[in-house]
Amino acid sequence: MLDIKLIRSNPDFVKERLSTRDKAYSKMIDEILAADEERRGLIRELEDLKAEKNRISKQIGILFREGKKEEAEKAKEEVHAKNKKIDQLEKELKDVEKRFNYLLLSVPNIPHPSVPVGEDEEENVEIRKWGEPRKFDFEPLPHWEIGEKMGILDFERGAKLSGSRFTVMYGYAAKIERALINFMLDLHTKEHGYTEVWTPVLVKPEVLKGTGQLPKFEEDLYKVCDEDLYLIPTAEVSLTNLHANEILKEEELPKYYTAYTPCFRREAGSHGKDVRGILRQHQFDKVELVKIVRPEDSYIELEKLVKEAEKVLQLLELPYRVVELCTGDLGFSASKTYDIEVWVPSQNRYREISSCSNTEDFQARRAKIRYKDKDGKNRFVHTLNGSGLAVGRTLLAVMENYQRKDGGFDVPEVLKKYM
């Protein structure tokens, strides 16, 4: 959520920055300003009325004590009239505020000035590459063929149980999945200073509002039908909201959290995309990294975060590249995002395996995560999140990059002690 005071005081700046994402936001800012104007007018009127009412009410107490019954009764009449007006204005205010809040919650974050301007992923900028894609002396197979031949990936039974984009893994695949999770968590907790967290995967709507999935992206989420709970699309949701509605002490910052959780996404709107294999599933495992930091540290922390995620691929010896997302490809809550893309031999291209973002105070404002600074002032923290990494996609990358001519594949050295 953007600061309404920023929108109010500098609408042209906000419009200009948001138009790098999509031109349509200009109109939305105007609507917000209009609603804000209306809202504040009502508040002013209401507060004056309430102040007056409170004053008279206090008088009534005094009058009764002094035995001045008639005067008190007269004053009551006066308050009655005020209450009628107050009720009416409050109803109006409620409506305006509902509209205002919805609008404000529907505006995406402002891209950082360093973010390249562009329309879509075509204009993302490659920052660096690591490793050399392997030259095969045979035609590399896609992971689904390797998996089916080995009998460790079962798409048919996945579909039988749950429908398309659900997979069953047996033996080796299941075991590597588990090994990868342990390997990643160990790396981040032992080498990078993260605290391992285990969280619920069903959360309340306000939690999803905090990180920006609601109210705008409800169709991407799975909702439980008998209760007001949603399955998390990423552990970023539960980790970031750990400190919702809290005022932290400055000394407590930064906080580094990592968690393994399954993630659930409806993948509405991606029909026909990546339908084969385990690249895009409704349920997948991910080890997530979340940082809660002081505003002045957040961009240094973002660079560190990307390196920490990259480290996983380096140790697994999987070739990858880092790209910076352009304004048009930036996620809703992000100010700046680096994607890490791993080499996928069967597709002869790099595919996203991690996304690392600084949301600045966008989520902090929504979730009300603050800290008390040295002067005793409450300020919003900055929050960051990144995949460290998407586990299923890592498994797929291992299977394809480490495949052998005989149809099997090798296990990366660092994983062997986890097997």
Partner RNA sequence: GGAGAGGUGGCCGAGCGGUCGAAGGCGGCUCCCUGCUAAGGAGUUGAGCGGGUUUUCCCCGCUCCGAGGGUUCAAAUCCCUCCCUCUCCGCCA
In the complex, what is the shortest distance from the CB of residue 230 to RNA, in angstroms, rounded to a whole number?
Answer: 15
Q: 248: which strand partners?
A: 371
Instruction: Considering the complex, state which of residue 247 and residue 275 has its C-beta at the smaller distance from RNA.
Output: 247
In the complex, what is the shortest distance from the CB of residue 313 to RNA, in angstroms, rounded to a whole number?
Answer: 35
Among the listed residues 21, 39, 265, 365, the single catalytic one is 265
Strand ranges inside 240-348, DSSP E: 246-249, 255-264, 283-293, 320-324, 336-344
Q: Does the active-site annotation cover 26?
A: no
Q: Which residues touch 199 (CB under 8 Å, ≥6 apart)?
A: 235, 238, 239, 242, 259, 261
Q: Which amino acid is at 2?
A: L
**Residues 89 to 118: which contact RNA by CB under 7 A?**
none
Q: What character string, x for contact with RNA (CB under 7 A) and - otherwise, covers 228-257?
A: -------------------x----------
**Residues 313 to 372: which contact RNA by CB under 7 A?**
370
Strand ranges inside 279-381, DSSP E: 283-293, 320-324, 336-344, 349-358, 369-372, 378-380
Q: Does the active-site annotation cover 355?
A: yes
Size of residue set near RNA by CB under 7 A: 25
Q: Is 80 a residue that touches RNA (CB under 7 A)?
A: yes
**Angle 278-214-324 from CA coordinates, rounded to 5°:** 55
d(CA 402, CA 372): 50
d(CA 20, CA 239): 30
Q: Note whether 37 and 4 are within 8 A (CB).
A: no
In the complex, what is the shortest distance from the CB of residue 60 to RNA, in angstroms, rounded to a whole number?
Answer: 3
Q: Does the active-site annotation cover 393?
A: yes
Q: Does the active-site annotation cover 128?
A: no
Q: Note whether 348 and 136 are within 8 A (CB).
A: no
Q: What character string, x for contact with RNA (CB under 7 A) and - otherwise, covers 23-42?
A: -----------------x--
d(CA 125, CA 117): 10
Residue 376: C-alpha distances to residues 58, 279, 362 (Å): 35, 48, 22
Q: Does the active-site annotation cover 265?
A: yes
Q: Note whether 239 and 385 are within 8 A (CB).
A: yes
Instruction: Considering the complex, state which of residue 76 and residue 266 has its C-beta at the smaller distance from RNA.
Output: 76
Instruction: Considering the complex, state which of residue 171 and residue 200 has its C-beta at the smaller distance from RNA.
Output: 200
Q: What character string, x for contact with RNA (CB under 7 A) and - otherwise, covers 372-411?
A: ------x---------------------------------
Instruction: Considering the complex, state which of residue 249 and residue 273 has its C-beta at the smaller distance from RNA.
Output: 249
d(CA 82, CA 86): 6
In the complex, what is the shortest distance from the CB of residue 40 to RNA, in angstroms, rounded to a whole number?
Answer: 4
Instruction: Considering the complex, state which of residue 15 and residue 50 has its C-beta at the smaller distance from RNA.
Output: 50
Instruction: Considering the complex, state which of residue 66 and residue 303 has its C-beta at the smaller distance from RNA.
Output: 66
Instruction: Considering the complex, state which of residue 193 and residue 200 has its C-beta at the smaller distance from RNA.
Output: 200
- Cα dihedral 57, 58, 64, 69, rounded to 10, equals -40
In the complex, what is the shortest distance from the CB of residue 134 to RNA, in angstroms, rounded to a whole number?
Answer: 43
| Range in contact with RNA (rule: CB under 7 A) among 78-86, 258-266, 275-283, 385-393 | 78-86
Task: Report which DSSP code applies to 223.
Answer: B
Task: Report which DSSP code applies to 114.
Answer: T
Q: Note whether 359 and 384 are within 8 A (CB).
A: yes
- Alpha helices for 106-231 (secondary structure H): 143-150, 155-162, 171-186, 205-211
| Range in contact with RNA (rule: CB under 7 A) among 19-27, 75-83, 209-217, 407-415 | 75-83
Instruction: Considering the complex, state which of residue 51 and residue 117 has its C-beta at the smaller distance from RNA.
Output: 51
d(CA 93, CA 101): 12
In the complex, what is the shortest distance from the CB of residue 389 to RNA, in angstroms, rounded to a whole number?
Answer: 29
Among the listed residues 298, 346, 354, 355, the single catalytic one is 355
d(CA 329, CA 331): 6
**Residues 39 to 68: which contact RNA by CB under 7 A?**
40, 43-44, 46-48, 50-51, 53-58, 60-61, 64
Q: Which residues are identified as catalytic? A: 265, 280, 352, 355, 393
| Binding residues for RNA (CB under 7 A) | 4, 40, 43-44, 46-48, 50-51, 53-58, 60-61, 64, 76, 79-80, 83, 247, 370, 378
